[in-house]
Structure 1
Amino acid sequence: MAEALRSAAAPAAASLLHDRYRMPIDPPCAGSDVIDALLSHRSVRAYLPDAIPAGTIGLLIAAAQSAPTSSNLQPWSVVAVEDPIRKARLAALAGDQRQILQAPLFLLWIVDHHRLAQNGAWQSVPADGLHFLESFLLGAVDTALAAQNAVVALESLGLGGCYIGGIRNRPVEVAAELGLPPRTFALFGLTVGFPDPGALAAVKPRLPQDAVLFRERYGADDAAPALAAYDLRLRTFQREQNMPERDWSEQAAQRVRGPDALAGRDLLRAALERLGFHLD
């Protein structure tokens, strides 16, 4: 019975895989509703004004807390912002992103070492291990895992979302706006709301798997042909969506060309030190 259900689900997955890559893909051996939902993901940047139903935020946090967490440290927190005035201030700090203003809910995902430091004090145990880069990296990884669980959950409810990395442009000001204590850092934001059906937002094609998947050892010595082919598929997508046409290869190169392309995030280490992180 289980095999029959997986086989029946495979055609849907095949269609979704084609949408995700815009190229021929070997037919999947199986499929599932969860895989279909993951393959259907798209960032939503236009929202209806409808409020988020009562109880939704708590449900999303429960889904987030169901993600794996290293040593059960749970080193993250969330600040849920619905006040339009505060959203407007945060939008300005994040580069004037319109979707923050439009979405009825803005979730700020916080790397939270404050709670662990407090617990150490309550236990009369030093929390010196928090001073190391590994601890900050652990916090960032766990926060991202939790947030992605929440995204999968909200999409299953008919909601949409979009990660906002621009919240790291001015982290000290964001911390002040949110009243964050020392040793906390807003890693990214997440807009949440009901997608506006009048706004184009199709599934964006990704790099082909032969550019990102290797067997046994890393082997992308000559990825140029795969990237060039991807540029063409992405331009087709952009044309369909009435977006400016731009090669991924050119956009990616410009995004990492130097500190001037980082929108102030080249100063992130100094900002983290001001916020109480040592990163030894």
Structure 2
Amino acid sequence: MNQVIETILAHRSVRQFTEEALTTEQIELIVRSAQAASTSSFIQPYTIIGVTDYEVKRKLAEIAGNQSYVANNGYLFVFCADFYRHEVIGEMEEAELSSTLESTEKFMVALIDTALAAQNAAIAAESLGLGICYIGGLRNHLEEVCQLLETPQRVIPLFALVVGYPVKLNEQKPRLPLHHVFKENKYEANQEKIRNDLHEYNDIIHQYYHERTAGKRGDTWTNQMAKTLGNKVRMYMNDFVKGKGFNKQ
């Protein structure tokens, strides 16, 4: 096993950081690593906004559900799906690009490419001995986020990545066993097999929480997912996305 794989397998989210800020060199290395990610047809449909203004970070923390570590960290990156520059390209080259930029396919390309870039950034940060945590809570109120970051049409802030020096590292949450998620040649849709696998994983997660909280929690994964997916959140997103010029056809 090499150091890259060791870094990947050692990942855990960090939610408490020291006051030490990242250096300019660290920030640039992380962004350059993000840019090295694969990108569909060389489109590069994303922008990364680094937030250093504490008042803006504080407001983003409030939007994200009053998560203090969104404000208190070594650095805050916001990853945005971005076709604004491509609209400018259309004007430069006198080409009609609106239909393509507004297609579901290009919406998927923007989401996928931005996520690939962000994961490269996360691994780069962790390889430098830093901790990270993704912040999807920005999507609670995206209109306000867009106003704070002054993003134009055809740009959607998707999530943030907080980075910094960890105060402590928590234990890793056990992921689904490999045979649950890795199938060869075809999808395995046998529901009885899936139920048995889920019961197996429930036992693992139940034990994890029991040990981590000295018996105060005994959650199962299926119970967590039923509650999470049964809770309707951010139901405005379809209209918001289309209003920003994405996924309209």
| TM band (smaller chain) | over 0.9
Q: Which amino acid aligns with 2:196?
A: P
Percent sequence identity over aligned pairs: 35
User: Which whole-Å CA distance do the structure 2 matches of 1:146 and 1:178 have between them?
Assistant: 20
Q: Does 1:33 align with 2:3?
A: yes
What is the match of residue 97 of structure 1? 67
CA displacement 1:230-259 (0-9 Å, x = unmatched): 1121122223333743111111112112xx
Q: CA deviation at 1:270?
A: 0.6
Q: Which amino acid aligns with 1:38?
A: I
The one of 20, 30, 34 aligned to 1:50: 20
What is the match of residue 247 of structure 1? 220
Q: Which amino acid aligns with 2:174?
A: P
Q: Does 1:206 align with 2:179?
A: no
User: Which whole-Å CA distance do the structure 2 matches of 1:141 and 1:158 have between them?
Assistant: 26
User: Which whole-Å CA distance do the structure 1 matches of 2:122 and 2:209 have between them?
Assistant: 24
What is the match of residue 122 of structure 1? 92
Q: CA deviation at 1:212?
A: 0.9
Q: CA deviation at 1:40?
A: 0.7
Structure 2 unaligned spans of 5+: none
Against the structure 1 CA distance between its residues 244 and 49, is the aligned structure 2 distance closer, same or farther, given a 3 Å change threshold?
Answer: farther
Question: Secondary structure at 2:152's aligned position in 1?
Answer: coil
Which stretches of structure 1, 4 residues or longer, exceed 3 Å deviation after superposition? none
Q: Does 1:272 align with 2:241?
A: yes
CA contact (8 A) 2:21 2:73 kept: no
User: Which whole-Å CA distance do the structure 2 matches of 1:35 and 1:104 have between them?
Assistant: 24
Q: Which amino acid aligns with 2:138?
A: I
The one of 194, 207, 216 aligned to 2:165: 194
What is the match of residue 232 of structure 1? 203
Against the structure 1 CA distance between its residues 228 and 124, is the aligned structure 2 distance closer, same or farther, given a 3 Å change threshold?
Answer: same
User: Which whole-Å CA distance do the structure 2 matches of 1:54 and 1:145 have between them?
Assistant: 23
CA contact (8 A) 1:82 1:104 kept: no
Q: Does 1:151 align with 2:141?
A: no
Q: CA deviation at 1:274?
A: 2.5
Query: TM-score of the superposition, structure 1-length normalised?
Result: 0.83
Q: CA deviation at 1:278?
A: 4.6
Query: TM-score of the superposition, structure 2-length normalised?
Result: 0.93
User: Which whole-Å CA distance do the structure 2 matches of 1:205 and 1:278 have between them?
Assistant: 35
What is the match of residue 66 of structure 1? 36
Moved more, 176-185 or 231-240: 231-240
Q: Which amino acid aligns with 2:155?
A: T
Question: Secondary structure at 2:235's aligned position in 1?
Answer: helix
CA contact (8 A) 1:165 1:187 kept: yes
User: Which whole-Å CA distance do the structure 1 matches of 2:106 and 2:132 have between them?
Assistant: 28
Against the structure 1 CA distance between its residues 46 and 95, is the aligned structure 2 distance closer, same or farther, given a 3 Å change threshold?
Answer: same
CA contact (8 A) 1:136 1:279 kept: no
Q: CA deviation at 1:67?
A: 0.4
User: Which whole-Å CA distance do the structure 2 matches of 1:208 and 1:58 have between them?
Assistant: 36
User: Which whole-Å CA distance do the structure 1 matches of 2:172 and 2:57 have between them?
Assistant: 27
Q: Does 1:167 align with 2:152?
A: no
Against the structure 1 CA distance between its residues 278 and 220, is the aligned structure 2 distance closer, same or farther, given a 3 Å change threshold?
Answer: closer
Question: Secondary structure at 1:188's aligned position in 2?
Answer: strand
Structure 1 unaligned spans of 5+: 1-30
| 1:130-141 pair list within 5 angstroms | 130-141=101-112
Q: CA deviation at 1:275?
A: 2.2
The one of 217, 222, 225 aligned to 2:186: 217
